[in-house]
Structure 1
Amino acid sequence: MFATISMTVDIPGYPERVYRAWLDSYEHGRFTGHPVNISGRVGEPFSTFDGKVVGVTQVSTPYGRIVQTWNLAEFPQNQPDSTIELTFEPTCTGSQVKVTQTGVEAGSTRQMMQWWEDRYLRPLRDYFDELVGDYPADEGDG
């Protein structure tokens, strides 16, 4: 049985900038800390984490939405690819990125959510925190 998981993270960067970073091999590698081969073109395969994550970009709506098939080497051989959808929404201090993954083994949802937090969401936020630094909007003064 398969499940769907969903997580959000606030990023101190405009949606356009975060979207581009996800689909750029160099920047994607910078925030994950692993080599990445990604173009962002629909139908193009990608790989990251030294080939332990592979998939194909299926939808690429500039600055708003990315859909990719997703297969981790950790998944059982007979398990079909899952699908991830990323959406990018503007906020007062940057953007909110929502990651939804369908096709996750029902018994491993907590493990998969932790995987996303440790390998993508926190590193992505930290990467943009470092790029942006402190600016007045961070101080909550409106």
Structure 2
Amino acid sequence: MSTTIHQEVEFSATADRIYAALTDGKQFGELTGAPTEISPEAGGTFSCFGGMILGRNIELVPNQRIVQAWRVANWPEGVYSIAKFELKEQGSKTLLVFSQIGFPEEEGKHLEAGWHENYWNPLEKYAG
């Protein structure tokens, strides 16, 4: 479990809009079309995509950074990765620098594609 995912995505929206969409359960549910519960506090839990993605918010710095202990429900019990979202506002746009470590190595390709398909593409449509 030593593989890393690193992705950089630019959104046509402000950092506060992107941050809110990723940390507010109602907004995230609207952008994905799936049942979502997200605690807005560090230490709080989240459940996305009808319980397929689970975890806990480790650090929340409004409009700047989100760090989560993140897992897919069918991973072995107790296996969590660390997902880090860094938001860098650039005028009316925001650069999201994403990294994920500590996931089962065989999941890497699926996860890399999944972030684009399930997070970045819907987020661009929602926030843009």
Deviation at 1:78, TM superposition (A): 4.4
- Please give the alpha-carbon distance, in whole angstroms, between the structure 2 residues aligned to 1:112 and 1:119: 10
Of stretches 15-24 and 90-99 in structure 1, the one that deviates more from structure 2 is 90-99
Where does the alignment leave 5 or more consecutive residues of structure 1 unmatched?
130-142
Rg (Cα) greater in structure:
1
- Please give the alpha-carbon distance, in whole angstroms, between the structure 2 residues aligned to 1:98 and 1:115: 16
Deviation at 1:74, TM superposition (A): 3.3
Query: What TM-score do you get using the length of structure 2 for normalisation?
Result: 0.92
1:40 aligns with 2:37: no
The amino acid across from 1:45 in the alignment is T
Corresponding residue of 1:68: 68
1:1-142, aligned counterparts within 5 Å? 1-75=1-75, 77-78=76-77, 80-129=79-128
Residue 104 of structure 1 aligns to a residue in which SS?
coil
- Please give the alpha-carbon distance, in whole angstroms, between the structure 2 residues aligned to 1:79 and 1:43: 17
- Residues paired across the two proteins, number: 128
| CA deviation vs aligned residue, 1:49-74 (integer Å, no higher than 9, x gap) | 11111100010011100001111023
- Please give the alpha-carbon distance, in whole angstroms, between the structure 2 residues aligned to 1:38 and 1:118: 20
Contact persistence 1:9–1:125 (CA under 8 A): no
| CA deviation vs aligned residue, 1:15-70 (integer Å, no higher than 9, x gap) | 11211121111111111121110122011111011111110001001110000111
Contact persistence 1:8–1:99 (CA under 8 A): yes
Contact persistence 1:59–1:67 (CA under 8 A): yes
